[in-house]
Structure 1
Amino acid sequence: MVTRRNLLTYTSFSLALAAIGITPEAFAAQKLKFASAEPFTYGGLIQQAKTLAKSAYIPPHAVDAKALANINYDVYRKIIYKPDYAIFSQGKARFPVTFFSVSSLHNTTVKMSVVDNQSAREIVQDISYFSFPDNKNGVLPDIKGDVFTGFRVLDNQQALKNNSEKDWVSFIGASYFRAVGEQGQFGLSARGIAINTVLGDTPEEFPNFTHFWFETPANDSNQLTVYALLDGPSICGAYRFVLQRTKGVVMDVDCSLFLRRDVGRFGIAPQTSMYWFSKTAKGSASDWRPEVHDSDGLALWTGSGEHVWRPLNNPMQVRVSALADNNPRGFGLMQKDRDFNSYLGSVSYEKRPDLWVEPKGHWGEGAVQLVEIPTDDEIYDNIVAMWVPKKPATAGSEHQFSYRMHWLADQPYPSPLARCGATRLGRGGNPGAYPPSGVRKFMVEFSGAVLDNLPSNARPEAVLTASRGTLEGIKVEKSPGGNGFWRVFFDLHVEGKEPVELRLYLKESSKTLSETWLYQYLPFESSPRPMQGI
């Protein structure tokens, strides 16, 4: 007998299923399974993280590596999450969500829930949600229990039907996530948090997002709200991500963080990228391509309003640079060079997105820290940029941060001043002469409307300083190539192996014309090889 109460319950549940893109018929056929409903709010998630931080850390569930031995990278790429099991795939909800399977690459599982009207239902995971085209016997791996390791948000329902890779956001591995820029290409990654990154003998910690909650979007919504619980030996936290598909991707992030123990380097809004070599410095015969990198520099808009550009290095040993600031307006790893001819490869480095972090509220004193790690291949991420607060991160402390992440092809708030272009290094001294010992020549380009509109008789002045060494031969000229660039030449005479911090900008009279170029020159690593006689 169907009572009125049962009918209302069924009707309510049917509406909830429809809202998340699952028909009652599909549910009745046991396509996607859900656990019982439980109350959910972001405030409740924050309290859960706070409570959890007071207890001992318990590592997340991981599938036995032996069961995943045959799911290598090549097999993993061919695994398909069945379209019938996607959420938000029906009706007017704009972006279908699918999930990543466990593999030999990723065996730590993540719980997933769907939220509707402050009620959450956890998805009961099953390996049968995936198809394995390379499975010789057509039998799925014998894995019971949770099998999701992350999720992806697809561009549209057509991408879901075609099993294409038209996703614009993906979260997988520890607290890593990434998004496409406005040119539709993935590149660098972000993380929820960075704990003790390259901090002497202290091992780096990689907390995990252990549970995601997907809020059912309104029919006319162009955004998706995702909540996440972060857990690690030193930290527990609650996150809210509001994902928007614009010309690129915009993410609004709120996080509440609770420390179990002291943290030496507390990295907020960390970014991870790859820089092997560029036109600035390239090792002899390292690769046939002119440049290989996901990002070529760090941009910073300081609390005082200064725009800074710092080209990246691939050093011979780990280097950490700290750019001190108070209430920064923004920072990020950028891919400035958008010319295919600079790369000549087939993996679209010229389309890799920039990632700009825009703090909300007052972040106080601290530093944008840049970590540069040696690499000899493009398969390794070797660059990290993050905000590190000046205030120590101690056990029992609580921290709240809000920020907006812009995944674009340029900074969302570019400087109105002339901007830095290429940085090039070469032999010091005069052309044709044997290079003096310890001398390096630099050429830095600047361009922008503020320079284009200078009077014909104007002569910009280079304001240049070095932390050590002697600067000579400083010259500012308009590029003879007709490209509108101005360029600054100078020689640096320096002895010893310690880094040299260089700082440069253009001015006319008392008027600043350009953003500030910063560069860390590594004499021992960057010096040209001695000339060989014939």
Structure 2
Amino acid sequence: MINRRRFLQTATATAALAAQGFSGQVLAQQGLKMAAPAPFSFEELKRRAQTMSRMPYVAPPSPSPEILQQIDYDAHGKIRFKTDLALWANGPSEFPVTFFHLGRFFQKPVRMHVVEGGQAREIVYDPDYFDMPANSPAHGLPANSGFAGFRFQEARNGKLDWKKNDWVAFLGASYFRAIGELSQYGLSARGLAVDVAVFGKNEEFPDFTHVYFETPQAGSDTVTIYALLDGPSVAGAYRFVMQRAAAIVMDIDSNVFMRQDVSRLGIAPLTSMYWYSEKAKATAVDWRPEIHDSDGLALWTGSGERIWRPLNNPPRIITSAFTDENPKGFGLLQRDRNFDHYLDGVYYDRRPSLWIEPQGTWGRGSIQLVEIPTDDEIHDNIVAMWVPADPVRAGQALEFRYRMHWSAEEPYPTPLARIVATRLGNGGQAGTSRPRGVRKFMIEFLGPPLTKLPSGVIPKPVLTATRGEFSNVLTEAVPDNVPGHWRTQFDLTVNGTDPVEMRCYLRNENEVLSETWLYQYHPPF
């Protein structure tokens, strides 16, 4: 970072800091250089963000952009933080913190601070914190250039080697992610989404510019950080209380102050990748059967309906809005956990699901899903978020609290049968000429209500579509001897290429048996 205050080096300064509430453990970080202390509280951070929102935006300075451009993907991968210098490598936290270096793709520095006893001290960047090749361009950066991000390592006294394993990482703008209970990174979250896929406007990516690590009690499985958000249209203060359990659980308190009007403000935004699945795949596009970090959007509406919306790789950018009031939850999930459906050593079958559980009253708005075309797995092309119904104006203050569950499945599973697969094919009957403009759909359901059906009872599909005609509707048990595994198939005849919104669920007389399948079909004809 530029213009940092000099850290204190003398024994007299150390004694003065200890008198202000800093323990010897914090002061004795092995090799980490600390700046002078300053008062800190979450309330003060919120006031700071509000004050910033009333002033013109000033982007954080990027040290030596010409050097950072040389730290490309390969060069950045060779720069590794020395774990012996990790924050809390010797306690009191169970989870040491290591830091990411700046580079071509992460040029905005983040100021890191340690908080104890109501005082915060900045961790001053030093290139000696990192192992890097002698010819690395990073050697040419000026002093106090700053960090790109950070990660929490696994417990010092846990089963895994904490120096080689981490469980949450913050890197780039306001992006962060956690491994979930299957110990695999996948989709990401971020602090805020600003004008995603708004016609005529560029998406804005506000940054977490300052991060504060609260010193925890020894033995705690919880860590708390605070973050200051800043961008052209918004400033904000965030608190993350993160618990390392079987699933990673984060309680987030976000306070946002608007500098400018925003057309689409995304709260609790999730970002993922969906290329293709069993649903539809171009011939020989890739040798793997499926490639995706998430395969669907799950909704639990304020009225209690459970909905599953399979993801698409659409022909153009598509935004879908699911209007609601005080939703109970939503998330991007990876439901398909069968390795044979991916056959890839990057373990798409282990990618975490991420569920948002609103806290308090969120009011009216919509869960919006943005799907962007992609031809490769390297691109995140899916965004899901809550968008308030009322316009967001300059000078407005917003507060949203929510809980994030990084897990394998939804934290509050539906008692209804779930949709486990969606498959598409040419319509018509086998052994006959397949008519043009007709598409066959196959939806698979699995769950206890279908297991409990009396012998001979066939559930009835309830089908609707915004246009087109259904035919050849059939529901049957899947012939795999799995109890409660049923499928519904039908043909849809439709003209033109405009999207078709479809809905389907199973019932037996007046009893709803399954969650609701929503699907947006893009006819190729």
TM-score (norm 2): 0.94
Task: Give the letter for the 1:472 counterpart.
Answer: S
CA-CA distance at 1:424 after TM superposition: 0.3
CA-CA distance at 1:162 after TM superposition: 6.7
The 3-state SS of whatever aligns with 1:47 is: helix
Determine the structure 1 residue equivalent to 2:144: 145
Deviations 1:110-132 (A, max 9, x none): 00111001111111222221120
Deviations 1:286-313 (A, max 9, x none): 0011000000000000000010000000
The 3-state SS of whatever aligns with 2:349 is: helix
Aligned-partner Cα distance in 2 for 1:380–1:138: 27
Tell me if 1:291 matches 2:290.
yes
Q: Are 1:154 and 1:160, in contact at CA under 8 Å, matched by a contact in 2?
A: no
The 3-state SS of whatever aligns with 1:140 is: helix
Determine the structure 1 residue equivalent to 2:55: 55
Tell me if 1:398 matches 2:383.
no
Aligned-partner Cα distance in 1 for 2:14–2:66: 47
Aligned-partner Cα distance in 2 for 1:404–1:319: 27
Q: Are 1:303 and 1:328, in contact at CA under 8 Å, matched by a contact in 2?
A: yes
Q: Are 1:181 and 1:353, in contact at CA under 8 Å, matched by a contact in 2?
A: yes
Q: How does 1:112-261 map to 2 (within 5 A)?
A: 112-132=112-132, 134-136=133-135, 140-157=139-156, 164-261=163-260
Q: Are 2:357 and 2:402, in contact at CA under 8 Å, matched by a contact in 1?
A: yes
Deviations 1:6-65 (A, max 9, x none): 9973654695241x4x527x4xxxx21111111111011000000110000000121222
Aligned-partner Cα distance in 1 for 2:230–2:512: 47
**For residues 238 and 92 of structure 1, do their structure 2 counterparts lie closer, same or farther at Cα, with a shift above 3 Å needed?**
closer
**For residues 429 and 48 of structure 1, do their structure 2 counterparts lie closer, same or farther at Cα, with a shift above 3 Å needed?**
same
The 3-state SS of whatever aligns with 1:450 is: helix
- Out of 9, 16, 19, the position equivalent to 2:16 is 9
Aligned-partner Cα distance in 2 for 1:379–1:56: 35
Aligned-partner Cα distance in 1 for 2:401–2:409: 22
**For residues 244 and 162 of structure 1, do their structure 2 counterparts lie closer, same or farther at Cα, with a shift above 3 Å needed?**
closer
Q: How many residues align?
A: 513
Q: How does 1:23-42 map to 2 (within 5 A)?
A: 23=28, 26=30, 31-42=31-42
Aligned-partner Cα distance in 2 for 1:372–1:425: 19
Q: Are 2:17 and 2:37, in contact at CA under 8 Å, matched by a contact in 1?
A: no
Determine the structure 2 residue equivalent to 1:385: 384
Q: Are 1:67 and 1:143, in contact at CA under 8 Å, matched by a contact in 2?
A: no
Determine the structure 2 residue equivalent to 1:532: none
CA-CA distance at 1:368 after TM superposition: 0.5
Aligned-partner Cα distance in 2 for 1:447–1:365: 32
Determine the structure 2 residue equivalent to 1:73: 73
**For residues 57 and 458 of structure 1, do their structure 2 counterparts lie closer, same or farther at Cα, with a shift above 3 Å needed?**
same
Q: How does 1:304-383 map to 2 (within 5 A)?
A: 304-383=303-382
Task: Give the letter for the 1:167 counterpart.
Answer: D
Determine the structure 1 residue equivalent to 2:500: 500
Deviations 1:363-404 (A, max 9, x none): 111111000000000000000000001011011111000000
Q: Are 2:20 and 2:117, in contact at CA under 8 Å, matched by a contact in 1?
A: no
CA-CA distance at 1:221 after TM superposition: 1.2
Deviations 1:221-268 (A, max 9, x none): 111100000000000000000011111211100011000110000100
Aligned-partner Cα distance in 2 for 1:135–1:100: 18
Q: Are 1:111 and 1:146, in contact at CA under 8 Å, matched by a contact in 2?
A: no
Determine the structure 1 residue equivalent to 2:4: none
Determine the structure 2 residue equivalent to 1:437: 436
Determine the structure 1 residue equivalent to 2:418: 419
**For residues 179 and 7 of structure 1, do their structure 2 counterparts lie closer, same or farther at Cα, with a shift above 3 Å needed?**
closer
CA-CA distance at 1:157 after TM superposition: 3.1
Aligned-partner Cα distance in 1 for 2:83–2:160: 6
Determine the structure 1 residue equivalent to 2:8: none
Aligned-partner Cα distance in 2 for 1:177–1:131: 24
Task: Give the letter for the 1:99 counterpart.
Answer: F
Aligned-residue CA RMSD (Å): 2.0
Aligned-partner Cα distance in 2 for 1:85–1:140: 19
Task: Give the letter for the 2:196 counterpart.
Answer: T
The 3-state SS of whatever aligns with 1:476 is: strand
Task: Give the letter for the 1:16 counterpart.
Answer: S
**For residues 206 and 7 of structure 1, do their structure 2 counterparts lie closer, same or farther at Cα, with a shift above 3 Å needed?**
closer
Aligned-partner Cα distance in 1 for 2:178–2:136: 36
Determine the structure 1 residue equivalent to 2:3: none
Aligned-partner Cα distance in 1 for 2:479–2:486: 9
CA-CA distance at 1:137 after TM superposition: 8.4
CA-CA distance at 1:79 after TM superposition: 1.4
Q: Are 2:92 and 2:215, in contact at CA under 8 Å, matched by a contact in 1?
A: no
Task: Give the letter for the 1:438 counterpart.
Answer: G
Aligned-partner Cα distance in 1 for 2:141–2:59: 23
Aligned-partner Cα distance in 1 for 2:138–2:225: 33
CA-CA distance at 1:92 after TM superposition: 4.4
Determine the structure 2 residue equivalent to 1:64: 64
Unaligned runs of 5+ in 2: 1-11
Aligned-partner Cα distance in 1 for 2:33–2:13: 20
Task: Give the letter for the 2:240 counterpart.
Answer: F
CA-CA distance at 1:473 after TM superposition: 1.5
Tell me if 1:102 matches 2:102.
yes
CA-CA distance at 1:159 after TM superposition: 9.4
CA-CA distance at 1:85 after TM superposition: 2.6
Q: Are 1:128 and 1:140, in contact at CA under 8 Å, matched by a contact in 2?
A: no
Q: Are 1:98 and 1:152, in contact at CA under 8 Å, matched by a contact in 2?
A: yes
Determine the structure 2 residue equivalent to 1:530: none
Aligned-partner Cα distance in 1 for 2:172–2:371: 22
Tell me if 1:489 matches 2:492.
no
CA-CA distance at 1:340 after TM superposition: 0.2
**For residues 161 and 512 of structure 1, do their structure 2 counterparts lie closer, same or farther at Cα, with a shift above 3 Å needed?**
closer
**For residues 519 and 50 of structure 1, do their structure 2 counterparts lie closer, same or farther at Cα, with a shift above 3 Å needed?**
same
The 3-state SS of whatever aligns with 2:16 is: helix
Aligned-partner Cα distance in 2 for 1:220–1:277: 43
Q: Are 1:159 and 1:165, in contact at CA under 8 Å, matched by a contact in 2?
A: no
CA-CA distance at 1:432 after TM superposition: 1.8
**For residues 32 and 468 of structure 1, do their structure 2 counterparts lie closer, same or farther at Cα, with a shift above 3 Å needed?**
same
